[in-house]
Amino acid sequence: MEIGILGSGNIGGNAARRFAQAGHHVRIANSRGPQSLRALVAEIGPNAQATSAQDAVDASDLVLIAVPWTKREEALGEIEGWDGKIVVDAMNPYTEDFEIEDLGSKTATEFTRALVPGARVVKAFNTIYYKRLAGDGKPKGEKDRLAIPVASDDAAAKRVVMDLIDEIGFDPVDNGGLVEGGRKQQPGSSIYNQPIGAKEMRAELARA
Ligand SMILES: NC(=O)c1ccc[n+]([C@@H]2O[C@H](COP(=O)([O-])OP(=O)(O)OC[C@H]3O[C@@H](n4cnc5c(N)ncnc54)[C@H](OP(=O)(O)O)[C@@H]3O)[C@@H](O)[C@H]2O)c1
């Protein structure tokens, strides 16, 4: 699959490594431009390319958004052509002081959705600490795999993201629709940043 990654830091950079290792082609973009990503793409190898954010979106079937919440408008606002793309929102609504922003009755992904018109939005990768994403994946069928929840209103998009999570060594857990599921996996929830398996995660989500 052609995957675009906006944000090349803890989550974006490590997701890029995992996706490329699984055989996907990744186009990575950040705020400083493709030149600043030369070392990262060289390290990842031939499945990785540094591009502009617009090129990463244009050329990809799926785009992972892994920029700081406070930069989302700057990062996404001028990009065009979201229609039909699967957009995976990994962002959590932290302020620059690392406080959780009060979004009233809304979930973070509802704000993201407004910035990517026509996209098939999926909330995933926001609950897993980047070091676990980087190092704790295990082959399919192996015991004690960690779980990653996935929420979306688009069943086909959700399936694509769940398969991708499985390929990179984690057990995907279907967490329902975008708003309700997104709420259950936001910072402070019982499954947020918890290194737990699929069975335990399903039980926690059912209780939430
Ligand atoms: N850290 C975690 O364990 C973790 C876990 C789950 C979810 N998350 C979420 O994932 C997101 C990224 O977190 P992180 O820890 O990976 O952050 P990070 O290490 O600080 O990386 C942020 C990345 O976003 C890029 N960026 C900033 N402004 C941008 C813009 N206007 N356009 C394009 N790219 C821009 C930065 O590019 P430059 O380097 O060029 O500035 C950098 O590559 C956050 O929303 C966070 O809540 C983090």
pLDDT of the residue at 37: 98
pLDDT of the residue at 86: 99
pLDDT of the residue at 47: 98
Measured CA to CA, the distance from residue 208 to residue 206 in angstroms comes to: 6
| Ligand 1 shell residues, CB under 6 Å | 6-12, 29-32, 36, 53, 66-69, 71, 74-75, 90-92, 94, 126, 128-130
Measured CA to CA, the distance from residue 91 to residue 89 in angstroms comes to: 6
pLDDT of the residue at 155: 98
Tokens of 186: 């936001």
For ligand 1, the distance from its centroid to the CA atom of residue 9, given in whole angstroms, is: 5
What is the separation of C-alpha 69 from the centre of its chain, rounded to a whole number of angstroms? 13
CA-nearest of 68, 46, 84 to 160 is 84
Q: What is the pLDDT of residues 48-83, one digit of tens each?
A: 999 999 999 999 999 999 999 999 999 999 999 999
For ligand 1, the distance from its centroid to the CA atom of residue 69, given in whole angstroms, is: 8
What residue owns the CA closest to ligand 1's atom 18?
9
**How confident is residue 199, by pLDDT bands cut at 50, 70 and 90?**
very high
Using a 10 angstrom Cβ sphere, with 0-12 exposed, 13-18 middle and 19 or more buried, the burial of residue 184 is: buried
pLDDT of the residue at 42: 98
Q: Domain boundaries in the chain?
A: 2-207
How big is the chain by its Cα radius of gyration, in Å? 16
**How confident is residue 204, by pLDDT bands cut at 50, 70 and 90?**
very high
For ligand 1, the distance from its centroid to the CA atom of residue 89, given in whole angstroms, is: 12
- Please give the average per-residue pLDDT across 146-166, as a whole number: 98
Q: Which residue type is seen at 166?
A: D
Fold of 2-207: Rossmann fold (3.40.50)
Q: What is the pLDDT of residues 9-44, one digit of tens each?
A: 999 999 999 999 999 999 999 999 999 999 999 999
**How confident is residue 186, by pLDDT bands cut at 50, 70 and 90?**
very high
